[in-house]
Amino acid sequence: MQRYFRFILLTGCLAGSSQMITGDEAVSIAVRPAVTVAHGTAQLKILVARNDRNRSLTWEVDGPSYYRSSRMELEGASAPRSWFFFVKDLPEGEYDIRVTLKRDDESQAFAMSNIKVLPGMP
């Protein structure tokens, strides 16, 4: 019986983690929270599969009256796998979150997410 509950728990955890990198994903992003209030903060968690060809990582937050981006150089497979960024003081609106991974052969991998920022307290 205990083995059955472990299976259910593990299956539920894996099913709830839709932003996990699988063997064929070069980059993924998770945004927490997915919905927040105006002037709140969101965390971007970017996972990059280790690969000697990885050269740069760019993320963008793009909304109706707000844009922010950052780019960092990667040193191939020796670069960190996990990247965490905080986006603060977001105005009300819906935002697209885009991540671009560029490789040394000029190929690219993309991941997208979004966040909704609701009106804050008056």
Place of tokens 């472990």: 6
What is the model's pLDDT at position 75? 95
Q: Which DSSP string do the residues of 64-98 spell out, in sequence order? A: SS-EEEEEEE--GGGS-SEEEEEEEEEPSEEEEEE
- Report d(CA 51, CA 66) in Å as an integer: 32
What is the model's pLDDT at position 24? 58
What is the model's pLDDT at position 37? 95
pLDDT of the chain, 122 residues: tens digit per residue: 444 333 333 333 333 333 444 445 899 999 999 999 999 999 999 999 999 999 999 999 999 989 999 999 999 999 999 999 999 999 999 999 999 999 999 999 999 999 999 998 76
What is the model's pLDDT at position 121? 73
What radius of gyration, in Å, describes the C-alpha atoms of the chain?
17
What is the model's pLDDT at position 45? 97
Question: Across the beta sheet with 40-48, what order do the strands follow?
Answer: 27-32, 40-48, 82-90
